[in-house]
Amino acid sequence: MDAKLLDAAVDVLGEHGWDGLSLERIAERAGVSRVTLWRQAIGREAIVDALLARLTADYQDTLWPILTAPGPGRERLREALLALCAVAERHLQLLLSSDEAFHRAQARARPRPSFIGPLVRLLHDGVADGSLREPEAGYEDQANALFNTVCWSYVHLRGRHRWSAQRTSKLVVGLVLEGVA
């Protein structure tokens, strides 16, 4: 799907929320006719799916170098959590709108994207090298808690409290790492 169309959808979400995300508004913002979207069989679900795919690709591309880098698991986990903040920053307007549509889009996606898989890997690496303690709740639950705590705290503090990106990522990641180190 055209990046211009996806950017327009994000702008509409920022102004009108999920309830106001209409193909008419998206088409108008993108500078195309609603009929053009209809002819291309582009519907609201397809746009949400494409937005999730773009976010997922950005997340995976950003975390891959961290996953494959040498070094202690704790330091790589710190870098991954900071990278998560950077991805959230690039998609902040979208993430501020709601996460409900993304849960639905993620359930439809094939293959289903994993946002916690990289963090599970880094937790295992950190436990293996002694830089992190073994999670009491299990690796997947710990990774899920890490992801959601960092991502949604970042989004909330940036978007609703208007904290700077640097202040938010430093504080959130610092607090979370103390809990797993």
Q: 146-178: per-residue pLDDT in tens? A: 999 999 999 999 999 999 999 999 999 999 998
Structure confidence at residue 168 (pLDDT): 98
Structure confidence at residue 86 (pLDDT): 98
Question: Per mean pLDDT, which of 16-25, 51-60, 119-128 is the most reliable?
Answer: 119-128
The answer to whether 52 and 102 have CB atoms below 8 angstroms apart is: yes
* Span 57-84, pLDDT tens digits: 999 999 999 999 999 999 999 999 999 9
- Return the ∠ at Cα 56 (arms to 21 and 93), rounded to 5°: 40
78 and 56 within one domain: yes
The answer to whether 53 and 152 have CB atoms below 8 angstroms apart is: no
Residue 21 tokens read as 């995300």
Q: Which domain holds residue 33?
A: 1-42
pLDDT-derived band at 112 (thresholds 50, 70, 90) equals: confident
CA distance 180 to 28: 47
Q: How many residues does the chain have?
A: 181
101 and 166 within one domain: yes
Evaluate if residue 133 carries a pLDDT over 90. Answer: yes
60 and 12 within one domain: no
For the entire predicted model, the pTM comes to 0.91
99 and 144 within one domain: yes
170 and 159 within one domain: yes
**Which domain CATH number covers 6?**
1.10.10.60
101 and 35 within one domain: no
* Span 90-103, pLDDT tens digits: 999 889 887 776 67
Domain count, the chain: 2
68 and 25 within one domain: no
